[in-house]
A and B are shown apart, each in its own frame.
Chain A
């Protein structure tokens, strides 16, 4: 059964499509309006990382650094320890990819109040190819002490995560996808940082599906099809990867007895790994991992790539059946 307050058209063919990155732009405007200490920095990708509206509305609080992501991170670190709340954006392969050490030392270790927006994350970046498809960003960010990590599932949640990041103290990473994707939530869907949300709950769940980001929709499609095959599941939207909602994941795993993690990211070190850590520590159950299986992506149509790399609803369904056999 779908949870309340979700988009009622979630399973319709004409479900509204909008890019997750759009939520960053809208969130920045709202946060910037509310707090004059918010500043936005960009590295020659102002429009495609959706910082343009903020730049136009608050030109004095917007800084263009050119193609220089290491400088982007470290300048923001300086602003962040001087009373400002900097948001920095680039493609995730460059920030937090290229400038990881600057983020580690000058932002995380310094505990500087910087918000890092990693755009064009995941293989659904599409035609640009693997150089521009960040599939490791969650792993390299969640391993940093002091770092909070959000992976919103649609543009509305992305807006909420951006606003929450502005209000919460501390270094924060938010992951955004480029391509238009189905709108899963509504303005009324609860979003509490650190609390995973149940989006689908069967009466007698046999498997827990923990999903993040753009693939949450596929997880819901899979859950509905499984229900028709009389296989009950719970779908948990893990929008906060860190701090992770240990309690909810562990208790649901205990109830279901098996888990499948779903991420548009490398399975080594990412969301599946984070879930496995929680399970191993609290309540070990068999787990299957949907995600990039230790391979780079490539150019192509985003939805074709999701199929080719085994992250479609059908693949999630198969993974659930497989994990049930391992119970």
Chain B
């Protein structure tokens, strides 16, 4: 069981998520290339993971009992980097180096470049297999750590992912928790038009997984889902998180053309003012 999520902590997490979104916009603007939609959509979940769920020590990223957080859809790494910086893995200043030469913050995460990213990713569909390997090793060593594998919906087109799903079901890997960013977009368009993956829940159930569906922007519901997953003993669990790509920036929301581009100066300004006023609900603190 995770530590209970009190009102105050929940408020802290929601505010943290907003700060992360702001830093994301600034980081992407500075980088001049990179992905916007996926990172904004997964910000609430990353916040919940790094600031409430994960058992980890940012100053000792290779601690052997840490929970593993594998990001299979590596292109959304900007949100991971920002969350890691806020959690204390490295100075927030360093976010400015994203995608630049000689940086630890590679355009797609690289294991040996930055401690704490667990694995190199970007090429889709192979994160779940690697997570299965880490979960198997945990079992062999009688370790208590959990392996969280974040995946995208688009990468469910790939055969490799389903090979891993089948194997995880066979081996009853209850220390493995998959989290799917179900945002309905990929590069060429909407997932159900490019390559339909529904019914997704039933597919995983047929592969012997426990499946939970949540609103990916409801931190409380996500924490509950992780607690439920921890209580499942005979199966791996997958949490299908329904998210809005570009969440928090109105002109990016649900628009697949924001998959792989950063905001320009004007767009960033607009995005930041929306985020700082919570979409107009409060007056800006940065006036």
A282-327, CB < 8 A from B: 298-301, 304-305, 308
- Per a CB cutoff under 8 Å, which of B102, B123, B125 touches A131? B123
- Interface members, chain A 35-49 (any B CB < 8 Å): 42, 44-48
Query: With an 8 A cutoff between CB atoms, is A9 at the interface?
Result: no
Max count, chain B CB within 10 A of own CB: residue among A48, A67, A69, A308: A67
Decide yes or no whether B242 CB sits under 8 A from chain A: no
Are the CB atoms of A308 and B101 closer together than 8 Å? yes
B186 within 8 A of A: yes
Against A, the Cβ 8 Å flags (1 = close, 0 = not) of B12-36 are 0000000000000000000111100
Q: Mark B169-213, 1 if CB is under 8 A from A, else 0.
A: 000000000000000001110000011000000000000000000
Which of B100, B106, B188 has the most chain A CB atoms closer than 10 A to its own CB?
A: B188
Partner of A128, one of B101, B108, B125, B155: B108
**For the complex, is A10 an interface residue (Cβ under 8 Å from B)?**
no
From A48, A67, A97, A127, B31 is in contact (CB under 8 Å) with A127
Given A67-B157, A68-B157, A300-B102, are A127 and B33 neighbors across the interface (CB < 8 Å)?
Answer: yes
Given A94-B123, A300-B100, A129 and B108 touching (CB < 8 A)? yes
Interface size on B, residues (CB 8 A): 32
- Chain A stretch 108-141: residues in CB contact (< 8 A) with chain B: 126-132
Chain B residues with Cβ under 8 A from A131's Cβ? 74, 106-108, 110, 120-123
**Chain B contact residues, majority secondary structure:** loop
Contact with B along A59-80 (1 / 0, CB 8 A): 0000011111111000000000
Which chain B residues border A69 with CB–CB below 8 Å? Answer: 158
Interface residue B124 (Cβ < 8 Å from any Cβ of A)? yes
B66 within 8 A of A: no
Give chain B residues whose Cβ lies under 8 Å from the Cβ of A97: 123
B195 touches A132 (CB 8 A): no
In the complex the two chains form, what is the Cα distance from A64 to B100 in whole Å? Answer: 33
Q: Report the Cα distance A239→B253, complex, angstroms.
A: 44
A299 & B159 in contact (Cβ 8 Å cutoff): no
The chain A residue sitting closest to B124, CB to CB, is A67
Complex CA gap A132/B122 in Å reads 8
Bound-state CA distance A132–B34 (Å) is 13
Q: Are A67 and B122 in contact (CB under 8 A)?
A: no
Cross-chain contact of A127 among B99, B123, B187 (Cβ < 8 A) = B99
Pairwise interchain contact A67-B100, C-beta atoms closer than 8 A: no
CA distance A173 to B158 in the complex (A): 23
Give the distance to chain B from A177, nearest Cβ to Cβ, in Å: 16
The verdict on B154 contacting chain A, using a C-beta distance below 8 Å, is yes
Q: Mark A83-114, 1 if CB is under 8 A from B, else 0.
A: 00000000001100110000000000000000
In the bound complex, how far is the Cα of B102 from the Cα of A304, in angstroms?
A: 11
Query: Which of A45, A65, A128, A129 counts the most chain B CB atoms within 10 A?
Result: A129
Flag whether B62 is at the interface (Cβ < 8 A): no
B103 within 8 A of A: yes
What residue in chain B is nearest A67 (Cβ atoms)? B157
Q: How far is the CA of A47 from the CA of B261 in the complex (A)?
A: 14
Interface residues of chain A, those whose CB is within 8 Å of chain B, are 42, 44-48, 64-71, 93-94, 97-98, 126-132, 298-301, 304-305, 308
A-B contacts besides A131-B121, A131-B122, 16 pairs, CB < 8 Å: A44-B157, A44-B195, A47-B188, A64-B194, A66-B194, A66-B195, A67-B157, A67-B186, A98-B123, A127-B32, A128-B107, A128-B122, A131-B106, A298-B103, A299-B103, A300-B101
Task: Write the residues of chain B forming the contact surface with A, with a CB cutoff of 8 angstroms.
Answer: 31-34, 74, 99-103, 105-108, 110, 120-125, 154-155, 157-160, 186-188, 194-195
Q: Which 6 A-B pairs have the closest CB atoms?
A: A66-B195, A300-B101, A66-B157, A131-B122, A129-B107, A127-B99
